[in-house]
Chains A and B, each alone.
Chain A
Amino acid sequence: DTGVSQDPRHKITKRGQNVTFRCDPISEHNRLYWYRQTLGQGPEFLTYFQNEAQLEKSRLLSDRFSAERPKGSFSTLEIQRTEQGDSAMYLCASSRSRTETSPLHFGNGTRLTVT
């Protein structure tokens, strides 16, 4: 089971630094999602790709956040000028589009701590 993989698992950074996370979806999945989860909360939608096209971005997402998915394969999420409020678990999920809705498969996440 190749699953969704995320790298790194943990990231500690100082306030003001930039960080980049990577997500490799399940190989046949063309949809890729980024979510953020804080303690005691459900996953919060950040952005979504179908193939290489970024189709939706949360209005809650500041301009410091950017995501890419070149060639419709892996994706990266970059946070510039990190703030302490960015500390959270960043989850990636993928699914396959077909006539019926395909469930999301999550990776293990990247835990970000901003000091």
Chain B
Amino acid sequence: GENVEQHPSTLSVQEGDSAVIKCTYSDSASNYFPWYKQELGKRPQLIIDIRSNVGEKKDQRIAVTLNKTAKHFSLHITETQPEDSAVYFCAALSGGYQKVTFGTGTKLQVIP
């Protein structure tokens, strides 16, 4: 089955700096890669996603890149703000049954 690895597990940045979170996946058939943000005690919420037919997608301060050959994808957050502090999960969707496999999460702390 699919295996998703995520790094780093924790990340501290100064407010205004950029943050980058990286993930790798194992199943070359995976074709959809969402990113979720989870604040303490709350549900995971989708922040951006990318499909395998594109290499990059941007939404304001958030961007995601995908390298299908290397089977890795990354989340980039620019001009970080304290409200960006949360746990971020990458995920990959594989197989005809639409099973989504999550990474282990990155705890991002933005220091004011």
Contact = CB atoms under 8 A, between A and B. Distances in A.
Are A and B co-members of a single complex? yes
Interface of A: 31, 33, 35, 40-45, 48, 50, 55-56, 91, 95, 97, 100-101, 103-109
5 contacts: A35-B102, A45-B101, A91-B44, A103-B34, A106-B44
Interface residues of B, number: 25
Contacts, number: 56
B98 A31 contact: yes
A19 B33 CA distance: 33
B104 interface: yes
Contacts of B34: 103-104
Nearest to B2: A45
Given A48-B99, A97-B98, A104 B46 contact: yes
A45 B89 contact: no
Nearest to B98: A31
B104 A41 contact: yes
A101 B33 CA distance: 10
Contacts of B4: 42
A101 B31 contact: yes
Given A48-B97, A103-B49, 16 more contacts: A40-B104, A42-B91, A42-B103, A42-B105, A43-B44, A43-B89, A43-B102, A45-B99, A45-B100, A48-B99, A91-B43, A101-B32, A101-B98, A104-B34, A104-B100, A108-B43
Contacts of B98: 31, 48, 50, 95, 97, 101
A75 to B, nearest CB: 16
Nearest to A3: B43
B14 interface: no
Nearest to B89: A42
B100 to A, nearest CB: 6
Interface string B9-28: 00000000000000000000
